[in-house]
A and B are shown apart, each in its own frame.
Chain A
Amino acid sequence: MRLLTYIALLAVIPALLTAARTHETNPMSSQEDFEEGRRLYRINCGVCHGMEGKTGRGARLARRTYRHGNSDAALFDLIEAGVPGTDMPGLWLDEDDIWRILLFVRTFAEKASEVCNASGDVAAGKRVFDSQGSCLACHTVGPRGGRLGPDMSFAGVQYTDQQLRDALLEPSREVTDRYETVRLVTAEGERVEGVVMNENSYNIFVMDRSENIRSFRKAELQSLDLPEESLMPAYGDLLSKADLDNLIAYLCSLQGRDEEVAQ
Chain B
Amino acid sequence: MDVFLRRMLLSALLCAAGAAGEVTYQDLLDDPEVAADWLNYHGGYAGHRHSLLDEVNRSNVKSLRLQWAFQERIAEKFEVTPLVHDGIMYITVPPGDVYALDAETGARLWRYSRRMPAKLIACCGLVNRGLAILGDRLFMATLDAYTIALDRKTGRLLWETELIDYSLGYSGTHAPLVVKDMVMVGTAGGEYGIRGFIDAFDVETGERRWRFYTVPGPGEFGNDTWSGDSWKTGGASVWITPSYDPELNLVYWGVGNPGPDWNGDVRLGDNLFSDSVVALDADTGKRKWHFQFTPHDVHDWDATQVMVLIDREYRGVERKLLVTANRNGFIYMLDRETGEFLKATQFVKQTWAVGISEEGRPIRRPGMEPSAEGIEVFPAVAGGTNWMSPAYSPDTGLLYVSCREGSSMYYKGETEYRPGTRYWGSMFVNETTMDKWYGAVRAFHPITAEKVWEHKLFQPVWAGLLSTAGGLVFAGGTGGFFKALDSESGEELWRINLGASILASPMTFEVNGRQLVAVASGGGMFVFTLP
Contact = CB atoms under 8 A, between A and B. Distances in A.
Interface of A: 15-19, 81, 83-86, 134, 136-137, 140, 143, 146-147, 151, 197-198, 200, 202-203, 205, 207, 209-213, 215, 233, 237-238, 258, 262
Contacts of B157: 258
B363 interface: no
A70 B116 CA distance: 19
Given A134-B11, A215-B87, A238-B7, A19 B114 contact: no
A210 B153 CA distance: 12
Contact of A198 (B10, B107, B158): B107
Contact of B167 (A16, A19, A143): A16
Contacts of A151: 156
B159 A198 contact: no
A213 B84 CA distance: 13
Nearest to A15: B119
B104 interface: yes
B76 interface: no
Instruction: State the majority secondary structure of interface residues on B.
Output: mixed
A237 B113 CA distance: 39
A233 B7 contact: yes
Nearest to A84: B113
Given A19-B118, A147-B153, A211 B109 contact: no
The size bracket of the interface on B is: 35 or more
Interface of B: 1, 3-4, 7-8, 10-11, 13-15, 17-18, 20-21, 86-88, 96-97, 100, 102, 104-105, 107-119, 151, 153-154, 156-159, 167
28 contacts: A16-B117, A16-B119, A16-B167, A81-B115, A81-B118, A84-B96, A84-B97, A84-B114, A137-B10, A137-B14, A137-B15, A143-B158, A147-B151, A147-B154, A197-B110, A203-B102, A203-B105, A205-B109, A210-B13, A210-B14, A211-B14, A211-B18, A215-B87, A215-B104, A237-B3, A238-B7, A258-B157, A262-B159
Contacts of B14: 137, 146, 209-211
Contact of B118 (A18, A198, A211): A18
7 closest A-B pairs (Cβ-Cβ)?
A85-B113, A210-B17, A137-B11, A84-B113, A134-B11, A18-B118, A197-B109
A197 B156 CA distance: 14
A215 B511 CA distance: 11
B111 A85 contact: yes
A142 to B, nearest CB: 9
Contacts of B156: 140, 147, 151
A262 B158 CA distance: 8
A151 B105 CA distance: 28
Contacts of B109: 197-198, 205, 213
